Chains A and B, each alone.
Chain A
Amino acid sequence: MTLNRILIVAIAMIAALVARAHHSFAVEFLEDQTDTIEGTVTEVWFKNPHVRYYIQAQTEDGEIVNWDVRGASPTSLIRRGWTPRTIQEGDRITVHGHLGRDGRKLLSIIWIELAGGTKLSEDY
């Protein structure tokens, strides 16, 4: 892992802790259930109150699923080096996160791996 990559991981971890205070993670997500998806970014929503990436992924059965992937607030991410340019529409990414409640196709980012192998973490 390059120094740059380590730095990105570290700053994102701090950012997540600070920014989650916005509203309750617990209301929307399950702490003990996670999933990993790989797909294409169809939309980048880098706005307050929370960053969202819309990801189109394909299941093993070939079904296309659209995921709503949630991150921290933009201001806290930008302050630490994660900008709107970090992940862009059309990027192929892998996301590991907490699943949404009630079977909703939501993921709260724990980490994201970019096509080049860089890993961004938002774990607590």
Chain B
Amino acid sequence: MRALTLTALLSLLGHQALANPAFEGDWFIDIATDGAPLMGVLEVERHGDEWKAWAEGGPAPVTIDGDRIVVDVDSRDIRGFTFIMRLDGIFENGQITGSYTIHADATPLLGPGTWVGAPYDPPARSNESDPFDLSGIWKPGPGVDIRKYSMDLTAAAKEWHAGYVMHYDQPGVRCISPGIVAMVAWGAYPFEVLDTQNRLTFLYEVDSEVRRIHLEERERPEFYPPSGMGFSLGRWEGDALVVETTNMMPNVRDFRGEPVSGNAMMHEVYTLSEDGQRLDGVITLHDPENYERPPIRRRHWVRDPGIEIYPYECDPDSFYRQMYNEGKLDMYFERSKRRM
């Protein structure tokens, strides 16, 4: 209250107002767009006189002036064009409300809109198992994920990422598995879930990947061949399915090339809507070799029993052919060591 009063007084006198300390903490932001709503967690911290923020685990330059906060979130649209989403909000009555604008060179797919921030506490989960029926075919729904693209890389990851060449270094373009971290957050293709005793089997259309989630109580095997899908153990925490995946092949998070190490662990939480038709997933990547803070992605899917899961035959010939035509084959093979 004292800070608020002082803030208001300085504002009246035309000074830059003192930052309202109430901004410090974690906020769940809900962004209303001209399309599907987006959401995520915004962490705001004060380090001495300096304020810092992270959106979904990635650094987001922030300015706080009195009761006003401005946060720049680097984001990208589905085509890969990048832009800055500038969130401009006012703290009042325990929450932040405001609008956002889009700043980009290319014409963004997203128009301006509004947002609300509310104090965030991670949901408490019960230890009692209350499973839901996940079996069936799911197709991706739009929105949810803000597609923040730059994360809080370690020094080693920054160095590696600086040498990444988009397209030519991306596994998926030459029909190598993009890896479960990228696939689960992709939201571009349907998948089918088979629910059998102590096991959920995800049959992804993309790359015809098969993923087994073991629900029985067991230890992770001492050795399990690393793969794009990794090794997944799942458990029910109340009515949420929690899955932890390790033994992944080193890969990249998405086509922009931020790395995923072989020692990473992907943590997923799935919840089902009351009518059983919508599945929500929060995907957090724990990979301290590469990230100072875990990157977070969010997706949702809807049931669609009418969809047929097609086989996905992928032929890398067109990728190599393009490089041959462009005289880039040497460049490609000279970079083989970088391909994880």
Contact = CB atoms under 8 A, between A and B. Distances in A.
Interface of A: 17-28, 31-32, 45, 47-50, 52, 68, 75-76, 78-79, 104, 124
Interface stretch (B65-73, B195-203, B230-238, B310-318): B310-318
Contact of B315 (A31, A48, A78): A48
Contacts of A25: 79-81
B188 A19 contact: yes
Given A28-B167, A32-B107, A48-B313, A21 B187 contact: yes
Contacts of A47: 313-315, 318
B312 A21 contact: no
Interface of B: 76, 78-82, 106-107, 109, 140, 166-167, 170, 172-173, 175, 186-189, 205, 255-256, 307-308, 310, 312-315, 318, 322, 325-326
A102 to B, nearest CB: 9
Contact of B80 (A19, A27, A79): A27
A19 B166 CA distance: 18
21 contacts: A18-B188, A19-B188, A23-B173, A23-B255, A24-B167, A24-B255, A25-B81, A26-B80, A26-B82, A31-B81, A45-B318, A47-B313, A48-B175, A48-B312, A48-B314, A49-B173, A49-B175, A52-B318, A68-B322, A76-B188, A76-B189
Contacts of A52: 318
Nearest to A32: B106
B310 A78 contact: yes
A27 B307 contact: no
Nearest to A18: B188
Nearest to B322: A68
B132 to A, nearest CB: 26
Given A79-B307, A104-B326, A24 B79 contact: yes
B79 A124 contact: yes
B187 to A, nearest CB: 7
B80 A24 contact: yes
A45 B321 CA distance: 12
A56 to B, nearest CB: 14
A10 B336 CA distance: 42
Given A31-B79, A104-B326, 5 more contacts: A17-B78, A24-B79, A27-B255, A49-B172, A49-B314
Q: Report, nearest first, the 3 A-B pairs whose CB atoms are least far apart.
A: A24-B80, A26-B80, A21-B188
Nearest to B107: A31
A27 B107 CA distance: 15
B203 to A, nearest CB: 13
A79 B310 contact: yes
A55 to B, nearest CB: 14
Contacts of A26: 76, 79-82, 106
A107 B326 CA distance: 15
B322 to A, nearest CB: 7
Contacts of B325: 68
B26 to A, nearest CB: 29
B189 A75 contact: yes
Contacts of B314: 47-49
Contacts of B256: 24
Nearest to B205: A75
A20 B186 CA distance: 11
A106 to B, nearest CB: 9
Contacts of B255: 23-24, 27
Most A CB within 10 A of own CB, among B78, B109, B175: B78
B106 A31 contact: yes
A79 B187 CA distance: 16
Contacts of A50: 318
